[in-house]
Amino acid sequence: MSIDQTTLPIVDVNHLTTTFATPRGPLTAVNDVSLTIQRGRSLGVVGESGSGKTVLSRSIIGLLPTFNVSQTGTAMVNGHQVIGVSNKQLREMWGSEVAMVFQDPMTALTPTKRVGEQIAESLRINLKMSRKDAKARAVELLRQVGIPSPERRAKAYPNQLSGGMRQRVMIAIAIACGPKFLVADEPTTGLDVTVQAQVLDLIGELRRESDLTLILVTHDLGVVATRTDDVAVMYAGRIVEQAPTKELFANVAMPYTKGLLDSTPRIDAPSHTRLTSIDGRPPDLVNPPKGCAFAPRCTMATEKCHEERPPLVASTLSANHLFACWYPLGGHAPATTPSEQQ
Amino acid sequence: MTTPLLSVKDLVVTYGRKRSAVQAVAGISFEVFEGETLGLVGESGCGKSTTGRAILQLEAITSGSVTFDGTDLTTLDREAMRQKRSELQMLFQDPISSLNPRRKISQIVAEPLAIWNRGDQASREQVVNDILLEVGIDPALAGDRYPREFSGGQCQRISIARSLVANPKLLVCDEMVSALDVSVQAQIINLLTDLKQKHNLTLLFIAHDLAVVKNVSDRVAVMYLGKMCEIGPSDLLYEKPLHPYTEALLSAALVPDPNVELNHTVLQGEPPSPLNPPSGCRFRTRCPKAQDRCAAEVPELRELAPGHQVACHFPNTTTYVTLQSSEH
């Protein structure tokens, strides 16, 4: 009689809003976000600093501080409700079903514990392994994430490893208990390009081997383009465009997404190609603008954009291409308000 | 050929002493010509930042020479170097921490003028206002504010204003856009390009981002573990890299286009410790083409085509020959 879990989306977020209480007033970091992720897919979440991409990914797995945070909406992950649930309940899911790879492995790892022990810890807690078995499995996991001489490295402290190695250790901890869903928050930011390629390849391999679902949070459009199935572009706490990766890059609808692409220097463009920058900077989320949040920086904005916020709608060209814009690019029909749709 | 504005010869910078001595820069030579932008790329720990700092004599140089505008800076005494320094300025990665948090913006930008005793109070004010306007900061609104009130991009604009106020000839930019979001990064890159033209600047642009370096540079130099691998004109070097390391770096760089095939020659492992660098060619431990000769003999930087130099025993010349013949 139970619903077959495998056909349901592994992540189902509805009207999720996360607000932080700040001395200046409430700051809505994630504003009315809805999204679903099917099993085995990878979703790239892109945006600039402060766009809410990290808060969104952490909200989805319930990994937020308990003070000064209020949340509305729902988020279901692998059949568990995440919003408004105690940490004790979330702990049943953390580690064994969902796991996270943090941006800065130096601060995310315990500096005073050997990395082998840190991996073994979650095995002993979640899988109730014996000390000895957990230790052996930790070495095995280090080998799996491509760390040379894992027996020796298991005894190392985080500060004795390079940045790339530390990120591999983080990934080993994340996959230790066989999670179904992985959130990677800027996993390669701060790593050199050759090491970045190694780490992204590793995540790709793990996904193929164990059918992992992935949220990849990044500011790097190159990472998104080459490593994800779907993309969500965030701006000022909202998803402003979402589509399968190939569809998005082939037919951008939002002027903001276009602006991001045009301001990114490309290795395949000739030297001294003039970049088109986006003037200004993102709005203050304590006092967000009334209409479209991007309107103050948008070259195509009209009075309507400043007055009325466009809803996230499906394109008439492709049903799984969503955007929030009154004047979309690429031949998409403009967003319509619910009253106009009737 | 014009004479170079900056000429670095056999530069060696060593940190630490005796057994813990690290040659962060292990004998590199290059030139920067007047009015050009030379990009310096490489992974963390390759010595690119040390090189930049050594040019400004901010690091003690073990051996080698840095000739700027006809003067060997390594021979100057403290005072003479201090006098010279107004002609060489540096821009840093973290714009907020490189501005004094207790000073107002107008004071920060005016400070070089006070140090060099240029002009009187009124003319200084005028110069500061002009330069702030040029970098896109309104002096009337911003002058009396403090760095913490500005975003990273704005602080980088203020840093640029401060560096330009003394009329330098050479700017050393060390990862100056790496901490910024792409939209702001593009603003700063465009600003720098415009100011370079207007003020007739020469730039040494140090960064790890290959796409950014290609965009701003006329020529690009690639470093690995304290050594120079390759120097060449930007477009040519990116299209036809001669050094296997340059090739690997370029193949690992990502293009924001899902239709571009990922076929990176993934380099195995990570750079070896500079405490104990490999003999011969320093890249040989990770190089797919390494042979016995690479371990025995240090490859010297040699010119394979006009302006395109490489330090490799087995450079990727085949593509180069076909490229040249196809041009005829």
pLDDT digits (tens, 9 = 90+) for A273-327: 999 999 888 899 999 999 999 999 999 999 999 999 999 999 999 999 999 999 9
Alpha helices, DSSP H, located in chain B: 48-55, 78-84, 105-115, 121-134, 139-142, 152-164, 182-199, 210-216, 234-239, 244-252, 292-296, 317-327
- Give residue A282's Cα distance to chain centre: 19
Question: What are the strands of the beta sheet with A11-22, ordered from one edge?
Answer: A25-37, A11-22, A69-77, A80-81
Q: Cβ of B266 and A194 within 8 Å?
A: yes
Instruction: Indicate the burial class of A106 (C-beta count within 10 angstroms; 0-12, 13-18, 19 or more).
Output: middle
In the CATH scheme, what is the code of domain B4-95+168-327? 3.40.50.300
pLDDT of residue A189: 86
Residue A157: count of CB within 10 angstroms of its CB: 15
Nearest-angstrom CA–CA distance, B309 and A120: 50
Give per-residue pLDDT as tens, A131-181.
999 999 999 999 999 898 999 999 999 999 988 899 999 999 999 999 999
Which pair of tokens denotes residue B66?
Answer: 């840095």
pLDDT of residue B264: 67
Nearest CA in chain B to A49: B181
Nearest CA in chain B to A264: B182
DSSP codes of every residue in B242-268: -SHHHHHHHHHS--S-TTS-----PPP
Give per-residue pLDDT as tens, B279-315.
999 999 999 889 999 999 999 999 998 899 999 999 9
Nearest-angstrom CA–CA distance, A250 and A248: 5
Residue B249 touches partner A, C-beta closer than 8 Å: yes
State what percent of residues in chain A have pLDDT above 90: 76
Nearest-angstrom CA–CA distance, A92 and B101: 46
Nearest CA in chain B to A284: B151
Q: Cβ of A273 and B215 within 8 Å?
A: yes
pLDDT of residue B327: 41
Local structure of B195: helix, strand or coil = helix
Give per-residue pLDDT as tens, B220-251.
999 999 999 999 999 999 999 999 999 999 99
Q: Cβ of B214 and A224 within 8 Å?
A: no
Average pLDDT rounded to a whole number, residues B68-77: 94
* B326 pLDDT above the threshold of 60: no
- Compare CB distances from B215 to A162, A265, A277 and report the shortest one's residue: A265
**H or E segment and range at residue A198:** helix A193-210
pLDDT of residue A260: 95
Question: What are the strands of the beta sheet with A213-218, ordered from one edge?
Answer: A98-101, A181-185, A213-218, A42-46, A230-235, A238-244, A322-323, A313-314
* B16 pLDDT above the threshold of 60: yes
Choosing among B257, B261, B263, which should be mutated to test the A contact, i.e. which has the most A CBs within 10 A?
A: B257
Read off φ and ψ for residue B132, nearest 5 degrees.
-65, -40
Which pair of tokens denotes residue A71?
Answer: 């949340």
* B112 pLDDT above the threshold of 60: yes
Choosing among A277, A278, A299, which should be mutated to test the B contact, i.e. which has the most B CBs within 10 A?
A: A277
CA angle A191, A197, A203 (to 5 degrees): 100
- Compare CB distances from B258 to A196, A225, A259 and report the shortest one's residue: A225
Q: Cβ of A266 and B211 within 8 Å?
A: yes
What are the boundaries of each domain within chain B?
Answer: 4-95+168-327
Nearest-angstrom CA–CA distance, A226 and B260: 8
Contact in structure between B183 and A259 (CB atoms under 8 Å): yes
How far off is chain A from B218, nearest CA to CA, in Å?
7
* A61 pLDDT above the threshold of 60: yes
Q: Which of A41, A28, A36, A48 is nearest to A11 (CA)?
A: A36
Residue A32: count of CB within 10 angstroms of its CB: 16
Beta-sheet pairing, B302-305 with B308-310: antiparallel
Nearest CA in chain B to A268: B255
Q: Cβ of B215 and A162 within 8 Å?
A: no
**In the predicted model, what is the mean pLDDT of chain A?**
92
